[in-house]
Amino acid sequence: MKLVNIHTLVVVLGILLIGQSRNVLHAQTQTLPQCIAKALSNNKNLQVVRNNLNLNQLRQQEARSNLLPKATVLADYKFFTNLPYQLLPLSVFNGPEGQYKEAQFGVPHNLATNIQLALPLYNPQIKAGVKGVEIAADMGTLQVEKSEEQVIFEVTNLYYNAQIVQHQRLFVDSNLVNVDRLLATMRLLRAQGLAKGTDIVKVELQQAQLQAQRLQLDGKLAQVLNSLKFFMGQNLDTLLSIPTGVEPMDKLEYPVSASVDARMMQVQNRILVNELDLLKKSKLPTVSVVASYGLAGFGYGKQPDPFFKIFPTGFIGAQTTYPIWNRTTRFKLAQKQVEITSNRLQLEQIQAQNDLQVANAILQRNTAQANIPTARQQIALANSVYQQTLVQQQQGTANITDILMADNDLRGAQNQYLNTLVEYLKADLELKKASSSLKN
């Protein structure tokens, strides 16, 4: 009996499955780069993170505005029901020394309006604050990059999962074809008195198990595709088709660069250093130009001489603030030094961990890639044994138990191939992530 090539059978079954699926008929097959492009364009989480970059620009403008002059309008009106008292020394009026006389000054109606202007000439804290906001903007850019890498990682992982599930379905369908043929043969032999009823039951049980597995795979594939649509920012009722073929690539060498986490830690170090500089500059004086112009109104509403008079007031000058002693700042400086040291140690840890992940991923990928041809060969051998056992059963030299064992061996070889393929894809994806090559 001529042996059936397992790869040819898989391709034929794949064509049959596509022809039987109405959804796939109307769905356009999406490649991995196309899925990633749609996810980067439509993913809602990414849109939120990118939108937050606008906040960083506004915060920079806010910080720089502190260097500009500020104008304030003040208005104040008071009606004194009781005018304030002052004590006048009687000696002013040639009276005895040490004695005072109370007196009320002013008028009941008081109105004051002023325009005040302040311009910082020298304020190192404001400049350090502007620099801190600019560094925070760099952190926001890195957060966008990290979110993009995470979306690419999730989309790629789901894409590979969909391909693996479709591989599993093809293997199950090929096994169902074998079981259906075996069941037909066993029923024919049973009619001829050459097979037992229990033999048919065993084959029917195996057929039921495969059919149940096929339904489970259909549900799993639908869930994976729905998750993929979610990350791509598409409606769940959108038709989506993923190609089945997964061919291990040659041993690609991904250029290793600093991870986003390491670069974020470096930016965090810049933020801490700037905060330390800000604390140090809080000990320096600040100089500002101040100016004010206003009107002061005084009124009296009783007879015999009611009046309301307005007088202009104004000044221009400079204001200096110099902190003499603040022990709290000393402790804050010490705390910031500890934070900078911890940040440096965390950066070294991230870099060492990243090197470890790259090395392990390369080893895992190379091992899996080397095992894939062997796993394929095992499928071909297991299929050959299965077909030979069928021939032997027809010749009376093998029984149903031998056929079922050969079928189990074939399934085991198929599962081993899929597991090896999963290990390869997982290791390759982890290598891309660890080497910061997901966007390449």
Residue 275 belongs to a domain: yes
Structure tokens at 426: 């997982």
What element of type H or E holds 274? helix 260-281
Q: What whole-number distance in Å separates Cα of residue 57 and Cα of residue 64?
A: 11
What does DSSP assign to residue 21?
-
Residue 248 belongs to a domain: yes
Residue 308 belongs to a domain: no
Structurally, how many domains does the chain consist of?
Answer: 1
Residue with tokens 């350090």: 128
Q: Which of 189, 139, 222, 114 is nearest to 395 (CA)?
A: 189
Residue 263 belongs to a domain: yes
Name the band, by pLDDT with cuts 50, 70 and 90, for residue 398: confident
pLDDT value at 135 more than 70: yes
pLDDT value at 86 more than 60: yes
Name the band, by pLDDT with cuts 50, 70 and 90, for residue 10: very low
pLDDT value at 11 more than 80: no
How large a percentage of the chain has pLDDT more than 90? 47
pLDDT value at 228 more than 50: yes
**Residue 202 — φ and ψ, nearest 5°?**
-60, -40
Q: Domain range spanning residue 339?
A: 6-67+123-285+322-434
Model pTM above 0.75: yes
Helix (H, G, I), strand (E, B) or coil at 296: strand
Q: What whole-number distance in Å separates Cα of residue 232 and Cα of residue 36?
A: 7
> Quick one: pLDDT at residue 357?
93
The β-bridge partners of 238 are none
What CATH number does the domain containing 210 carry? Answer: 1.20.1600.10
Residue 50 belongs to a domain: yes
- How far are the Cα atoms of 46, 95, 226, 228, 307 from residue 155, in angstroms, in the given order? 13, 97, 11, 6, 81
> Quick one: pLDDT at residue 24?
41
> Quick one: pLDDT at residue 350?
94
Residue 93 belongs to a domain: no
Q: Give the mean pLDDT of 375-403.
A: 88
Instruction: Find all residues with CB under 8 Å of 343, minimum gap 6, and list them.
Output: 265, 268, 269, 272
Residue 190 belongs to a domain: yes
- How far are the Cα atoms of 26, 399, 407 from residue 411, in angstroms, in the given order? 32, 19, 6
Helix (H, G, I), strand (E, B) or coil at 196: coil
> Quick one: pLDDT at residue 81?
86
pLDDT value at 440 more than 80: no
Instruction: Find all residues with CB under 8 Å of 239, minimum gap 6, and list them.
Output: 23, 24, 26, 27, 28
Q: Is the bond into 255 cis (omega within 30 degrees of 0)?
A: no
> Quick one: pLDDT at residue 250?
63
* Range among 37-41, 240-244, 248-252, 390-394 rated most confident: 37-41
pLDDT value at 99 more than 60: yes
> Quick one: pLDDT at residue 8?
38
Q: Which of 75-84, 136-145, 319-328, 377-386 has the lowest mean pLDDT?
A: 319-328
Burial 358-369 (b: 16+ CB within 10 A, else e): beebbebbeebb
Residue 85 belongs to a domain: no
Whole-number average pLDDT of the chain: 86
Tens-place pLDDT, residues 245-285: 776 666 677 888 888 999 999 999 999 999 899 888 888 88
> Quick one: pLDDT at residue 194?
67
